[in-house]
């Protein structure tokens, strides 16, 4: 079963237009990226016009691999537990990416997750064209995992299972930061969350987001990714900006951060 593209409005669905945009974003990312340095990370998932540069910096820095795990958000609140999707492949205008059957079977056997979730979700889909452009659709497999609002112990369980996988499999968590606050407020709130992420503090991240009401949509997948890290070596904030830096409207913004872990 093929998962057809659903993320309308987030990126161009014309192949040539998408390819041109990806080329421009990845060329701009060269000034900041550290090629082949990132094995785990946090990447935003808004429209490419807004968060595309931040995503490009992370993916340009990512160490190429034959398999990758992407932890996504449950924006539609359709999942009651961690979800592995039943699709055989995910399609974008650049082609189809196979879902890793061996990773799916391994994770499912250890976690007993859900196997169906919202097909409308964009937080995983929008990452795939970057990987397809850089690696080629036929050169890697993906394991998409939706991580909804589940108990802390469940996030730790997922992280521990992922931590046992081969070290050469990248794990990426999809998240935007603060939503619809002034730029000054968003920067203050996001700095607190980013500090907890960089310090590899998944429990502290959840507590900080809850205490200060930070509207970081991917706090659960990010927390699980932090639990999966093989060491407690600090991460690096590669880039942070807000939608206000793109539009000029600083009254109500969304924050975007790319954070890498590895040899940075």
Distance CA 74, CA 140 (A): 24
For 1-27, what is the mean pLDDT?
A: 95
Instruction: Compute CA distances 113 → 83, 108, 126, 254, whole Å.
Output: 5, 6, 23, 31
- Determine the pLDDT at residue 180: 96
Instruction: Please report, rounded to a whole number, the percentage of residues in the chain having pLDDT higher than 70.
Output: 98
Residue 145 and residue 69 in contact, taking contact as beta carbons nearer than 8 Å: yes
Q: What is the rounded CA–CA span in Å between residue 215 and residue 210?
A: 9
Sign, CA dihedral 216-53-48-2, equals negative
Nearest to 232 by CA among 183, 197, 186, 193: 197
**CB-CB contact of 97 with 131 (8 Å):** yes
pLDDT at 80: 82
Average pLDDT, integer, range 19-44: 97
Q: Where are the alpha helices (DSSP H) in the chain?
A: 15-29, 48-61, 101-111, 128-135, 152-163, 183-198, 202-212, 219-228, 243-247
- How deeply is 179 buried, as exposed, middle or buried, from its count of CB atoms within 10 A (0-12, 13-18, 19+)? middle
Q: What is the DSSP-derived secondary structure letter of residue 47?
A: -
Confidence of residue 62 (pLDDT cuts 50, 70, 90): very high
pLDDT beyond 90 at 85 = no
Question: pLDDT (tens digit, 9 = 90+) per residue, 169-196?
Answer: 999 999 999 999 999 999 999 999 999 9
Inter-CA distances, 44 with 86, 90, 105, 108, 152, Å: 24, 19, 28, 26, 22
Q: Average pLDDT, stretch 130-159?
A: 96
Q: What is the mean pLDDT of residues 30-41?
A: 96
Tokens of 173: 């968590």
Q: All domains of the chain, ordered by start, with CATH? A: 2-262 (3.40.830.10)
Maximum alpha-carbon separation in the chain: 49
Q: pLDDT tens across 92-110, in order?
A: 999 999 999 999 999 999 9
Phi and psi torsions of 196, nearest 5°: -70, -35
Q: Per-residue confidence at 139, pLDDT binned at 50, 70, 90? A: very high
């Amino acid at each position: 079963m093929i998962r057809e593209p659903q993320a309308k409005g987030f990126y161009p669905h014309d192949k040539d237009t998408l390819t041109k945009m990806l080329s421009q974003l990845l060329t701009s990312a060269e000034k900041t990226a550290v090629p082949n340095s990132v094995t785990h990370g946090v990447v935003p998932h808004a429209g490419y016009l807004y968060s595309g540069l931040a995503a490009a910096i992370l993916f340009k820095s990512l160490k190429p691999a034959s398999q990758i795990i992407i932890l996504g958000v449950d924006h539609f609140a359709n999942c009651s537990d961690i979800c592995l999707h039943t699709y055989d492949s995910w399609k974008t205008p650049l082609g189809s990416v196979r879902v890793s059957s061996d990773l799916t079977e391994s994770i499912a056997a250890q976690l007993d997750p859900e196997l169906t979730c919202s097909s409308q979700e964009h937080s995983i889909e929008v990452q795939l064209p970057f990987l397809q452009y850089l690696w080629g659709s036929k050169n890697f497999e993906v394991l998409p995992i939706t991580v909804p609002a589940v108990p802390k112990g469940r996030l730790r369980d997922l992280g521990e299972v992922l931590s046992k996988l081969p070290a050469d499999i990248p794990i990426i968590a999809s998240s935007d930061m603060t939503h619809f606050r002034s730029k000054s407020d968003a920067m203050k709130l996001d700095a607190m969350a980013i500090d907890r992420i960089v310090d590899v503090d998944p429990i502290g991240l959840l507590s900080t987001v809850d205490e200060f009401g930070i509207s970081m949509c991917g706090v659960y997948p990010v927390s699980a990714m932090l639990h999966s890290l093989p060491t407690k070596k600090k991460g690096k904030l590669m880039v942070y900006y807000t939608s206000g830096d793109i539009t000029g409207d600083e009254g109500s913004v969304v924050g975007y951060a790319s954070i890498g872990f590895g040899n940075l």
